[in-house]
Amino acid sequence: MNRVIIAEKDEQTRTAVKELLTFAKYQVSEAPNGKEAMKLALQTPPDLFVASSGCEGLDGLGLLHIIRKNETLKNVPFILLTDKADREEMRNAVKSGVCDYLEKPVAESEFIRSVENCIEKASVRKRATFETVNELLQTVNDLIGVNDDEREQKFFKPKDLIYIRNSRAAYLFYILKGKVKTYHESDSGKKLITDVFSEGDFFGYNPLFLERPYMETAEALTDTEVVLIPKEIFLHSIHFDEQITREFLKLVAGDVLKRERQLLGAVYNSVRKRVADGLLELSAKMCPKHNLNSFFKIARTDLAQKIGIAKESLIRTLADFKNEKMIAMEGKTIAIIDYEKLKGIDA
């Protein structure tokens, strides 16, 4: 059942909209303004926002602006309700990515049709991203001449090495299930985790482009199943398929930006800021989609190596975050319970 959050100051209007959506088989949560709606969304992200531009405090446009900057909520469709159509307001709404702009009072049939259309558009966008990955795998399978059941797959247990630094780069890897970390290790044995990958991620592609050995070691964090795509097949696909080329250029560009942020963070950010950023990044990668408050499991040693700080400093900072009610901890698992407060920690 799709979930809708309503932000409307007028209780009578809010109740009427809730009853209409409930009758149409939607799960509905309501709030008198954008601030309260945002709190509900951070607890459990919705499939659709419906908000009025006339809310007191944080109105519909303000809420729309905020969620478009939130990594978890930025793709949730948004319907803006207005008491009086205004061209400037409409321009701002469209610029911020509103799905629909409706003037009150709106006919029930028109409103339900708008809700259905916005949720369906969002669903199509999700499927398009998923199909892009499947299309790449299918392209690779076609080039190799095998079907899904015959392609090369391997299973790894936690702490199994998938490849080691300076070994010959022979494959591109795609994760069907599980989680993988990549890291550098100094001669003295000190490790720095460079990235964490989860289901649906590709890794190991940079050395294939550079024609050099693997530049780091890859190790399974959990029970993991990966597809191995031979280097020659991958480079052939890159050369002849423009869509695949674009997708991997985005991945490479994203890696460059991430490394730049990590370097600047290590130089300029406080330990609190670095731990907060590390938790936010890992939560986005390791938690189930649309479940901001779920726990993810990571050893404190791994987390310290990912952030690049001493384990003792990490443990003290996590304890502080827990006392400040920004995170919850159970054994080796961590959950973010106040996303905005954690994100807002100063450098």
Tens-of-pLDDT digits for all 347 residues of the chain? 899 999 999 888 899 999 999 999 999 999 999 999 999 999 999 999 999 987 778 888 899 989 988 888 988 999 999 887 777 777 778 777 788 888 888 889 999 999 998 998 777 666 545 455 556 656 555 544 445 555 688 999 999 999 999 999 999 999 989 999 999 988 888 888 889 998 888 899 999 988 899 999 999 999 999 989 888 878 877 766 666 777 788 888 888 888 788 778 777 889 999 999 888 888 877 775 545 567 888 888 888 888 888 899 999 999 999 999 998 988 888 888 888 888 888 86
Same domain flag for 13 and 63: yes
Q: What is the pLDDT of residue 72?
A: 87
The CATH number assigned to the domain holding 291 equals: 1.10.10.10
| Domain edge (last residue) among 222, 248, 266 | 266
Query: What is the tally of structural domains in the chain?
Result: 3
Are 254 and 294 found together in one domain?
no
CATH number at residue 233: 2.60.120.10
The confidence score (pLDDT) of residue 347 equals: 66
Query: Is residue 128 included in any domain, yes or no?
Result: no
Q: What is the pLDDT of residue 219?
A: 96
Q: Does residue 148 sit within a domain?
A: no
Task: Map residue 346 onto helix, strand or coil.
Answer: coil
Clarify whether residues 176 and 215 are in a common domain.
Answer: yes
Q: Are residues 72 and 177 in the same domain?
A: no
pLDDT of residue 145: 46
Domain boundary among 212, 240, 266: 266
pTM value is 0.52
Question: Which residue stretches of 24-86 are H helix?
Answer: 34-43, 60-67
* pLDDT the model gives residue 105: 84
Residue 49 covered by a domain: yes
Whether residue 137 is contained in a domain is answered as no
19: burial class by Cβ within 10 Å (0-12, 13-18, 19+)? exposed
Range of the domain at 281: 269-343
Same domain, yes or no, for 29 and 68? yes
CATH number at residue 93: 3.40.50.2300
Torsions phi, psi for 156 (to 5 deg): -130, 140
**Cβ–Cβ contacts within 10 Å for residue 72, how many?**
20
325 and 261 within one domain: no
| Same domain for 44 and 106 | yes
pLDDT of residue 130: 46
